[in-house]
Each structure stands twice: as C-alpha cells, then as structure tokens.
Amino acid sequence: MTAAPDDHHADEPHADEPHGGRRDRSGRRNRLDLEPDTVERDLVKLVLTVVELLRQLMERQALRRFDEGDLTEEQEERIGLTLMLLGDRMAELRDRYGLRPEDLNLDLGPLGPLLPRD
C-alpha cells in the first residue's frame, strides 16, 4: 500500500510550513517552532519577562512597606536604589536584544496580559 501525496509521517517537516514546522500524530501542527536565528533572543525575552514580573512585585511590596512605615530610612534608600538599578539594567538588556517593554508582556488569552499595563 502506498501513501497518497498528502500523507505524511509524524515529526516530518512539511514543505508548505515555514521553518520546517512539524505535525503530531493527529495531524495538528506543533505550536513551538524554534528557529536557530532567534533562540537566544526568545530565551532572553522569556527570562526578562519573568524578571520584570518579579521586579514589579518587589516594587509593589516595597511601596506597601514604605506606606506602612516598616522600613528605616537606610532600608528605603537601599531598596529604592536597587529597584532603580534593576530597572536600568532591564532597559539595557531590552535595548541589546531589540525588545520594547511591551514585548515582555505575555498575552494569557482570556486571563488578559501577564503584566499590568501602565
């Protein structure tokens, strides 16, 4: 029995799919297409997204602690400086990889964006 021209084996690239897209056994296209040219940038984007989420959470926690008066003046200065330096470093890394702040905000579908929009 010979396969029809449209038949394909799972995990074989398809000529009509960009970047060698593959299909699983049910014929659905796999969602993850890793391109060698963009793997580093995509990884940096993911890491920076997580770091930005943590930075925003730390900033909110610090503001809450400032408002409650839980911190000494020295602690306030140290936290403020640390958050400022982290923000600067994030901007440098975004620039290095050609990313904008909005590129780090993942769309979670019906849940909305990962990061709050300012």
* Alpha carbon distance 100, 95 (integer Å): 8
**pLDDT for position 108:** 76
Is 68 inside any structural domain? yes
**pLDDT for position 104:** 84
**pLDDT for position 82:** 94
Is 16 inside any structural domain? no
Q: Are 86 and 79 in contact (CB under 8 A)?
A: no
**pLDDT for position 15:** 47
Is 61 inside any structural domain? yes
* Alpha carbon distance 102, 19 (integer Å): 26
Is 21 inside any structural domain? no
Our count of domains for the chain comes to: 1
Query: What is the mean pLDDT of each successive set of 10 residues along the chain, which is 118 residues long?
Result: 45 46 46 70 88 90 92 93 94 92 82 73
Is 19 inside any structural domain? no
Residue 59: domain span: 39-105
